[in-house]
Each structure stands twice: as C-alpha cells, then as structure tokens.
Amino acid sequence: MTLLRLVILLFILFVSKGMDAQDPNLPDRDWYLNYATVDGLTREPPFPGFEAILNLSATQFNIYHPYCSEALSSTVLSYEGTDVFQLEEDAILLLGFCGEPAYNVFMGHHYSFYYHNGSFAKNPFTYEITSNGQWSTLEITNANGDLAVYHDQALAVPGIDKNSFGMFPNPAEEMVTIRSAAILGEISFYDLRGRLIYSQGDLNTNEISLDISDFDPGFYLTVAKTENGELITRKLYKE
C-alpha cells in the first residue's frame, strides 16, 4: 500500500474525530462490528482480528476494514433526537486489496446494511448505546428492520497465545469445557447485545466444565479472566 493511499484511508476514518453528535457517547470512538443481519442473513467478521470499524460524527459516516485497506465514506444528513440519524444517498467506496472471496462477501454485507449498491441509503437508522461495565454496545437498526451490533473495543486476546486457551465442544448443546494454560479466576457469558447471562468467579483452576443447557440457542461471548487480570474472549455457539 502506498503512503498516499494510507494517508487517504486514515483521513477517511479519522477526519470527523472530535466533532459533536447528538448522543455524546456515539462520536470520538471506533465501533467494532460484532455481527450484522441483512435480509435475514447474519454475518460476522471472517476471523478474529478482522476488524470492521464504524466511526460516526456530527457530519461524517465512515466504515473501515483495515485488513483489506478498504473504506466506505458518506455524510450524515441529520440527527433526529438522540437515537436517529440519516445518511446521504451516495457513498464513496475506496476499494482495498483483498483477493479472498469470503472477505469481500463479508465487507459487501457490512456495506449493504447501510446502502443498496452504494446508493439509496436505508434511512432512517435508529441506534441505542448500552454498557455492561466492561464494554459499550451500539445497536443500529435500518429502515428495513435489519440489525448491526458493534462494541467500542475489539474483543481480542492481547498477550495470550490463542493456542493456550481452548473451549470445547463448540458448538455445544449442554456442557462446555474451558481449558487454559493460565490460571482462570472468573468465567462470564454475554449475549451478543452485551447482556450478562452467566458468571462464575473464584475458580483458581486451569479447566472447568459448565452446564449451558439453559442458554437460548445462538452466539455468546465467553470472557475468561485470568488470575493476572488478563481478559480472554471467545465466541461460543449454543445449539
């Protein structure tokens, strides 16, 4: 990627930072897509670490996929109250360099939540921001009733080797076993809207089996806290 292209991408993403929006919790932060449902089809980022970032301000709308160096940019036409916004009809797409079809399908799905083929915004968009004490969740619904869910931090695993933490079976129906090289202090499960479903602390163990038979079917975020205070996150699918 050339220096000029990098400068353009960074400008598209960050030009609006520091500007005011109707909801003070919305701007001045990056929102990381957890999943988007469009026309009944739900897609998540294709692998952990594939970031799909939304940034909104009083006047700018930007989506950025750093792994592919691809961005979509438009203008916020208006905010109505503290929970509705509308976008300009046309968006500008700066194509990236990903040749993997699955990545392009996912990015197109993300864009299609907001636009029909880059034009005709799916206005109006309603949004709600909630917090569970560990991260904030942004839920956006378009005029068609589709839903996109973002978090204000990338739920990654800094400092932990991904091979040192396991959760199986996954998908699971009744019991799930969690095994870690680091001593586990607490395990929590959140639904994809950030609501705490189950938590167990004072573990002091490397392995634990948990009964999830009462969970509703669907995806959950498993958050493991080690005795050193590091957070490890994984997605669990309950059948």
Q: What is the pLDDT of residues 130-183, one digit of tens each?
A: 988 888 999 999 999 999 999 988 765 444 444 478 888 888 899 999 988 889
Q: How far is CA 116 from CA 68, 82, 89, 163, in A?
A: 21, 25, 9, 40
CATH number, residue 233: 2.60.40.3080
Q: Which run of H or E residues covers position 197?
A: strand 196-200
Q: Report which of residues 16 and 61 the model is more confident about.
A: 61
Whether 20 and 99 share a structural domain: yes
Q: Report which of residues 94 and 161 the model is more confident about.
A: 94
| Bridge partner list, 238 | 172, 218
Whether 74 and 13 share a structural domain: yes
Q: How high is the mean pLDDT of the chain?
A: 83
Domain range enclosing 50: 8-151
Contacts of range 176-181, beta carbons closer than 8 Å, 24 or more positions apart: 176/209, 176/210, 176/212, 176/236, 177/207, 177/208, 177/209, 177/210, 178/207, 178/208, 178/209, 178/210, 178/222, 178/224, 179/206, 179/207, 180/206, 180/207, 180/224, 180/226, 180/232, 181/206
Residues 208-218: tens digit of each pLDDT: 999 999 999 88
Q: How far is CA 229 from the centre of its chain?
A: 23
Q: Report which of residues 226 and 20 the model is more confident about.
A: 226
Whether 115 and 192 share a structural domain: no
Evaluate whether residue 2 is within a structural domain: no
Choose the final residue of a domain: 117, 151, 185.
151
pLDDT computed for residue 140 by the predictor: 97
Residues 20-72: tens digit of each pLDDT: 446 777 876 899 999 999 999 999 988 777 889 999 988 889 999 988 888 89
Q: Report which of residues 97 and 152 the model is more confident about.
A: 152
Whether 84 and 173 share a structural domain: no
CA distance 115 to 50: 21
Question: In total, how many domains does the chain have?
Answer: 2
Whether 67 and 103 share a structural domain: yes
Evaluate whether residue 156 is within a structural domain: no
Find out whether 34 and 60 touch, Cβ atoms under 8 Å.
no
* pTM exceeds cut of 0.95: no
pLDDT computed for residue 123 by the predictor: 96
Which of 25-34, 61-70, 119-128, 230-239 has the highest average model confidence (pLDDT)? 119-128
Q: Identify the sign of the CA torsion 162, 159, 188, 204.
A: positive
Q: Report which of residues 93 and 5 the model is more confident about.
A: 93
User: By C-alpha distance, which of 29, 115, 18, 104 is closest to 75?
Assistant: 115
DSSP alpha helix (H) spans, 15-118: 101-112
